[in-house]
Structure 1
Amino acid sequence: MASSLDVTIIAAADGSALGNPGPAGWAWYIDESRWRCGGWTRGTNNQGELAAVLDLLRQTAHSPEPLHILCDSQYVINSVTKWMVGWKRKGWKKADGKPVLNVEVMKALDEAMTGREVTFEWVKGHAGHELNEKADVLANGAAKAHASRREPEAGPGFPGAQAVGAGDDPAVPPAADGGTGSAGARRSSGSADTTTTTKPAVTSEPDLFSMDSDAAASHPAAEELVVDLERALLTDAVRRDRRKLTRLLDVRWRQVDPAGRTWTRRELGDADVSPGGVELEVVETRRLADDVVLLLWRASGPRGASSVHSSIWQRTGDDWKQIYQQGTREG
């Protein structure tokens, strides 16, 4: 007779954001009696996806069964199974030396995985997969609830679990006891001590300028990568390096700056102009096609001047390049 240890918990985890960023929700689903959801008034798709996986890990922390997570986010799967090892080795920094996005949640995920037998499987979103569809509906419903300034029904959770939720701030997960903080839940002393396994077990690190083809095809991952690349263009290290500019700007690139001047890639490289400490605030990201992302963002200068920009990024092969940008002064 099979023991309870032979049973694997199979759950789908998903996230949703209306506007990305905007009212956001997260959810995981096992069956009608075991599911949970939540969200915030402002968050991103990726934060929702990460929160769903973290809450699932913490809710099932006391259970000795292996956990198999179905996820339609390559960003989440790659973060946990490919990139996290390199991030930790570099002190939670990316390949370009910048801090990892959503770092507190990443740290909490890393701790929540300790001593667990956890595997991940990518499933295509909105393709009729029953568990994924259930999680998607719950996450989207939670986002819509927060858009209406009300709390969604949290759900029954996992039997015997502590209701830790995902916290008020999507960037800072709660402590395992339900308070705020980044400490992950450890397994109870009576649970089996198993070794964490993830599939695929690859340790390659993400590149600032490109991603593997599977990750690049993921909607949220591509959007977040584009934001990183846009920020890179505002650094002296990139603007004054013609090789890096060539990797980020398409040969057809044109820019209409806030003063109304038109720039080509060659002109920008020859000008050797410093961005001068410009800060980028994301207004909206929008997928125009499978390989095209529109990024709307606000630039704030050190002297208080601000402008609104629209940037169009296009993927060719594994590389994302900006093909057009226009800026308009505010005020």
Structure 2
Amino acid sequence: MIEIFTDGACSGNPGPGGWAGLIRVPGCEDFHVSGGDSHTTNNRMEMKAAINSIKFVIEREKLCIDSEVILYSDSKYVIDGITSWILNWRKNGWRTSSGKPVENKDLWEELHSVCCKLKVRWVWVKGHSNHSENEIVNAAAQKIASSGGK
């Protein structure tokens, strides 16, 4: 089983942001991925963390052969979006139930695309609640956000 822990952060919303992922593979040292953007939102950074962490696993095919992938996130936006809302958004031409265009459509499409390559189970964790892996990725994302998204 592969475990992925992700978080995103933004200094201002919008503002400079950072994202981070910790990938735990049995029998290996933990892998860390991260990045940022100089002008973004917290939700986009949360999504980038999930997308890029899943891509990391996919790009290393030997990691994911017949492996269950569990992704932990403190973002209800990401988890509810990918497990529930996206079905109706796609059916409704990327419109919300109120008829407005879906925000972050580009990233929702990318997240959906990478998720189709693996079976991902999504688990919500409460942020800032002493969940050790969430604290690690939170600190990494915050550091990137506070350094201007670099």
Deviation at 1:14, TM superposition (A): 0.3
Q: 2:100 aligns with which of 98, 101, 107?
A: 98
Aligned position for 1:58: 55
The answer to whether residue 62 in structure 2 is matched with residue 69 in structure 1 is no
Q: In 1, Cα distance between the equivalents of 2:30 and 2:77? A: 28
Please give the TM-score of this superposition, normalised by the length of structure 1. 0.41
Note if contact 2:21-2:33 (Cα within 8 Å) is conserved in structure 1: yes
Instruction: Tell me if the contact between 1:27 and 1:135 (Cα under 8 Å) persists in the aligned partners.
Output: yes
Of 36, 39, 61, which residue of structure 1 is paired with 2:36?
Answer: 39
The aligned residue for residue 113 of structure 2 is 111
8 A Cα contact 1:30 1:131, kept in partner: no
- What does residue range 257-296 of structure 1 map to in structure 2 within 5 Å? none
Structure 2: tracts of 5 or more residues without a match? none
After TM superposition, list the pairs within 5 Å mapping 1:177-326 onto structure 2. Answer: none
Q: Give the structure with the larger helix fraction.
A: 2
> Distance in 1 between the 2:4 and 2:112 partners?
19
Aligned pair count reads 141
Query: Any conservation in 1 of the 2:22–2:30 contact (CA below 8 Å)?
Result: no
Contact 2:6 2:50 in 1 (8 A): yes
Give the Cα separation in 1 of the matches to 2:46 and 2:72: 11
1:20 Cα offset (Å): 1.2
The one-letter amino acid of 2:2's match is I
> Separation in 2 of the partners of 1:33 and 1:60?
12
Distance 2:38 2:32 in 1: 21
| Deviation string, structure 1 residues 209-257 (Cα, Å, up to 9, x no partner) | xxxxxxxxxxxxxxxxxxxxxxxxxxxxxxxxxxxxxxxxxxxxxxxxx
CA deviation after TM superposition for structure 1 residue 92, in Å: 1.2
| Corresponding position of 2:22 | 29
TM-fit CA distance, 1:30: 2.7
5+ long unaligned stretches in structure 1: 1-7, 152-331
- 1:96 Cα deviation from its structure 2 partner: 1.7
Cα distance in 2, alignment partners of residues 119 and 113 from structure 1: 10
For the pair 1:16 / 2:15, whether they are aligned, the reply is no
C-alpha distance in 1, partners of 2:30/2:4? 12
Q: Which has the higher contact order (CA 8 A, sep 6+)?
A: 2
Query: 2:137 — aligned with what?
Result: 135
Letter of the 2:40 partner, please give it.
G
Q: What stretches of structure 1 move > 2 A for 4+ residues in a row? A: 30-33
How far did 1:89 drift?
0.5
Distance in 2 between residues matched to 1:51 and 1:86, nearest whole Å: 22
Match of 1:81 among 60, 63, 83: 83
State the TM-score, normalized to the length of structure 2.
0.89
* Partners of 2:23 and 2:53 within 8 A in 1: no
3-state SS of 1:126 partner: coil
Tell me how large the CA RMSD over aligned residues is.
Answer: 1.3
SS in 2 for 1:101: coil
Larger Rg: 1
Q: Percent identity?
A: 33
SS in 2 for 1:41: strand
The 8 Å contact of residues 11 and 131 in structure 1, kept in 2 or not, is answered as: no
- Name the SS of the counterpart of 1:146 in structure 2: coil
CA contact (8 A) 1:13 1:29 kept: yes
| Counterpart pick for 2:128 among 115, 122, 126 | 126
CA distance in 2, matches of 1:45, 1:67: 24
